[in-house]
Amino acid sequence: MGVTTSTLVESEGHPVNRKSGKRESGGPFYVTHVGTFMEPGYVNRVIGGSRLEVEYSGPILGEHNSAAAIGSHHQWVPPPSMDKNSLNENGATAISQCAPNNPTAGLATGLAEMYREGVPTVPGIQSWKKRTEHAQQAGSEYLNYQFGWAPLAGEIHSVVNAARHHRDIMKNYRHNEGKNVHRRFDFSTERNSWEEQIPPLNPNIGYAGNSSFWEGTHESERVVRVEKIRKRWFEGCFTYGGPSKLDTFRRAIGYGDEADAVYGLTLSPDVVWNLTPWSWAVDWFTNAGDVIHNVTNFAMAGLVMRYGYMMEETISNFYTEYGNGDFRVQSAPGSFHPSSQGACKFGITTITKSRAPANPFGFGVGWQDLSPTQLAITAAIGITRSL
């Protein structure tokens, strides 16, 4: 089966915090392992020998058929170095999926769509006051209800729902401002397998003349398999500062609170007319452009990672699996009965583990690539090049 080897190909020291004594971060890491894959079967009180005088309890293993054709799918030799380009690409994808400014990007998109398409349009919102007044004067007239008040009430509910939804996202964004926000993103595990049936054969149990331990002429079925598993995941800690208190971000959250006042009400012309201020929707939509501008600009420059790592583990197992076999099992002195047991797996495994660290502004970005603004941001929150 060869010699088991583990090789640390690449590793970088972890800086230690002088105050706490704890290691704060890690550098690139790549380790490989080539060794034995083994899942032994077990038997209890099987007997054999010319006079059935030998009793055995313990593990059993069969030999691995390494010459099987599907062995070409097995990763016999680990790559000499980790694939940094692939890790950087996956890391960028992970950040795009789990960064805490994602809700902001979603908010900007949603606001932009409403601002552009109008749900309803801003002129429509500005006409609510006059339309409500007409509905009051019309009383319960059926046609006015169907073609006047009912569409207006539907428009109001649509805007309220949109405002409440975006307000919740914005409040959560403001809640995490200045905090360490930990995120993890797991890619889907990739699994591939191949198998090949080969002639049956009994595994060994550790004694010469082991065939005498078997009951009858039955031999264990054998299957050769190659299994490949690839796991990838990202872990990071983000931080960001929010927009200025003087901009329109906080005002927009306030308009969402006005939406709450409207949402729980059964709307009637009198209720809408008496809401104070019921014109919050006009402010919300006419203010949306400022909010979009602020959150988009911040998403581009304000997000920083205190640490971020993209990690990968690949496992390639190439082994022969033996099915259960029929053994003579001693039930009492001088007597025995057949029992089916002893399935086992034996082969080789190749494992690689990789870790790539991120720059505070992403993967594949060197300090020399950062702008003066980005360097100033990292310095302001205490991140230095030593990390």
| 313 C-beta neighbours (distance < 10 Å), count | 15
Is 357 a member of any domain? Answer: yes
| Cα–Cα dist 32/350, whole Å | 7
Q: In what order do the strands lie in the sheet with 335-341?
A: 54-60, 41-48, 325-332, 335-341
| Closest listed residue to residue 127, CA positions, set 152, 110, 147, 107 | 152
pTM across the whole model:
0.69
Average pLDDT over residues 253-274: 71
What pLDDT shows up at residue 268?
Answer: 74
Non-local (6+) Cβ contacts of 166 within 8 A are 107, 110, 111, 252, 256
In-domain check, residue 387: no
**Could you tell me how far CA 318 lies from the centroid of its own chain?**
28
3-state SS, residue 5? strand
Structural domain count of the chain: 1
Residue 386 in any domain: the answer is no
143-152, 252-261, 320-329: the lowest-pLDDT one = 143-152
How far is 110 from 104, CA to CA, in rounded Å? 10
- Residue 95 in 3-state DSSP? helix
| pLDDT bucket at 216, cuts 50 / 70 / 90 | low
Report phi then psi at 315, rounded to 5: -130, 125
Distances (CA, A) of 90 to 103, 163, 232, 314, 358: 21, 35, 8, 15, 11
- Measured CA to CA, the distance from residue 217 to residue 93 in angstroms comes to 57
113 belongs to a structural domain: yes
Domain that holds residue 290: 5-380
Q: pLDDT for 175-213, tens place per residue?
A: 777 788 889 999 999 999 999 999 888 777 654 445 677
The pLDDT tens digits for 360-370 are 777 877 666 66
Q: Distance between CA 229 and CA 292 in Å, rounded?
A: 43
Residue-wise pLDDT tens digits, 57-71 = 888 888 899 989 999
